[in-house]
Structure 1
Amino acid sequence: MSTDNDVTEAHPRFPFFVPGAPDERVGEILYGGMRKNVELQTGAEVSDARIRKINYNHDGSDCMAEVGQESHRGLGTIMGIFHVPASGMYFVASGERGMWAADALEVGKYEMQAVLEFDL
């Protein structure tokens, strides 16, 4: 995958999952719902990339969001990360934001440092 800032890097293979999903079918349903929420939030299509982790800079601090890990910003477990090519922005969905209530956390394209995708 390539972003506007060419921050994609090689990584060890890591299979796609949705935290807490009991099986692949339920995981796909949950992921589809999060994706739809981001599309409703942005009014634009989400890329097909299955993103595992992003590194970014927020207000001068290096930050990371990784699916399955707790958000350092107090948003609970990261459930999905989505890229909207039309804006170049990334959206982080968690149990607190972007999954059931409130909009997903927005990360601007100029804040991005690295993007890691799941192995499909």
Structure 2
Amino acid sequence: MAKQILIVEDDIDLAKILKTILEQNGYRTRVALDGAEALDAVLKDVIDLVVTDLKMSWVEGDIVTRLLKGYEKTRHIPILVYTGLSPEEIGRYQLEGVEAIVRKPVEPKVLLEKIKEIFLRAS
């Protein structure tokens, strides 16, 4: 069965682009438009990877990562941070347990390679 990836992105157009790229490459996807939706999704569905933005409304991505890694039922889920922030801005966030960080914009090939690496390490 194809791996399911949760896309956490408050920019709906970007979420649709990510969804299309991932689905065209054999992944199943689910989209959450903010951190609160993401937390709900991981508790209700089998998620194999979370791809999250950092700067979002309601619950920001760093809080999502801390909650996921701090909760026994979800701490095993790998997380890839996908952000437009500069390295200096990224450094202000607590991102313990995050498997990878990629900066927007990223070529689809690079994103897909990073996801493949994460799944290989997790298996």
Query: TM-score w.r.t. structure 1 length?
Result: 0.32
Query: TM-score w.r.t. structure 2 length?
Result: 0.31
Q: Which has the higher strand share?
A: 1
